[in-house]
Structure 1
Amino acid sequence: MLFESARVKLRKMTVEDTELYHKWRNDMEVMHSTNPSLDVYSLEQTKEFVEQVILGSHNSKSYILVEKEKEIPIGIVSLINMDYQNRNAECIIDIGEKEYWGKGFGPEGLQLLLDYAFYELNLHRISLKVFSFNERAIRLYTKLGFTKEGKSRQSLFRNGTWHDIIHMGILQTEYMDKRLK
């Protein structure tokens, strides 16, 4: 399924995206604000992860975020831990191409994912986790309508300091009400 906004579109991730994803997954600057584990992965480990976890799971859906003007893949958005019975999922976004940071591509991509989750999949609730030092992401999520629901205190150690992981969520009705305004 293809969704697009003024500047970006989502396309389903394929095995052909593995090397690009591998580049993003091993870029410590990219992963610093989104991945609790700052491990370096071999290409073989990434291939296995893509095939088994990203593409092989019935409980996740991943899409490459493509900048439309140049047709350049710039990141990935995913719904993971999908619980169809209770209509819940967790979302993840990574902008892997750093020259696109801070230019509004992330919000556009995440909004497309939320549109898909709430309007097409009819999910009831989407959650996410964000590191407490990632203030820009927290502002984005709040602007999209996510609410802080709690935190895992001092559960992330980065740069010699303990940080909280903040848990946020949004309900389908909250998202739809916000979109109508």
Structure 2
Amino acid sequence: MVTLSGEGIFLRALEPEDLDFLYRLENDETVWEVSETQAPYSRYLLRQYLENSHKDIYEIKQLRLAISDYSLHLLGFIDLFDFCPKNRRAGVGIVVFEKAQRSRGIGSEALRLLTDYAFTRLGVHQLYANITADNTASIRLFTRQGFEKVGVKKDWIFSEGEFRDEVLYQKIGG
């Protein structure tokens, strides 16, 4: 049986109460390079996003879930994006907010839960992740979950005055 609940965390739908965390994340310039964000998001726009987050992944081609512990603390977000039902694939993105929470298995458990859900419930055949070549923590997370390096996009990301490579990781499943 596939579930979005693990031993230490569970994945849940977004709630209106997540606005402050979403606002903090979407306006954190350190993650803009991977999301291709160029300008801050207003609370108004993010509130509208949350109001529409209930829409079906087949309609909006994205599913963002909150990563929560059983004390109901929001720990991060995990996404399926660029969902393509015809080709049965989707991209995966993950962020765990606090550095103190990282390296504790939260990301690994969340990625495992989402991967199982995507392969079993959504019938996805493959998942992929785009990771900057210098992001060793993310590379370790995804490779430990069975994602394989399948290519390098040279000088793909322009950030802080220099070009950086982005590595494509893929997991073939269901």
**Bin of the TM-score, shorter chain as denominator length:** 0.7 to 0.9
Pick closer, same or farther for the CA change 1:8–1:38 going to 2, 3 Å.
farther
Q: Give the % identical residues.
A: 24
Distance 2:82 2:35 in 1: 16
Q: What TM-score, normalized by structure 1, do the two folds share?
A: 0.82
1:91 aligned partner: 92
Greater relative contact order (CA < 8 Å, ≥ 6 in sequence): 2
Structure 2, unaligned stretches of length 5 or more? none
Pick closer, same or farther for the CA change 1:51–1:150 going to 2, 3 Å.
farther
Aligned residue identity for 2:37: S
Distance 2:161 2:19 in 1: 32
**Contact 2:155 / 2:163 at 8 angstroms: preserved in 1?**
yes
**SS of equivalent residue, structure 2 residue 7:** coil
1:143 aligned partner: 144
1:39 paired with 2:39, answer yes
Structure 1, unaligned stretches of length 5 or more? 174-181
Distance 1:38 1:101 in 2: 26
After superposition, residues 16-165 of structure 1 pair within 5 angstroms as 16-29=17-30, 31=31, 34-37=34-37, 39-51=39-51, 54-56=53-55, 58=59, 59-68=61-70, 70-165=71-166
Aligned residue identity for 2:47: K
RMSD: 2.3
Aligned residue identity for 2:35: N
1:177 aligned partner: none
Q: What TM-score, normalized by structure 2, do the two folds share?
A: 0.85
Distance 1:98 1:129 in 2: 21
**SS of equivalent residue, structure 1 residue 80:** strand
TM superposition shift of 1:38: 5.7
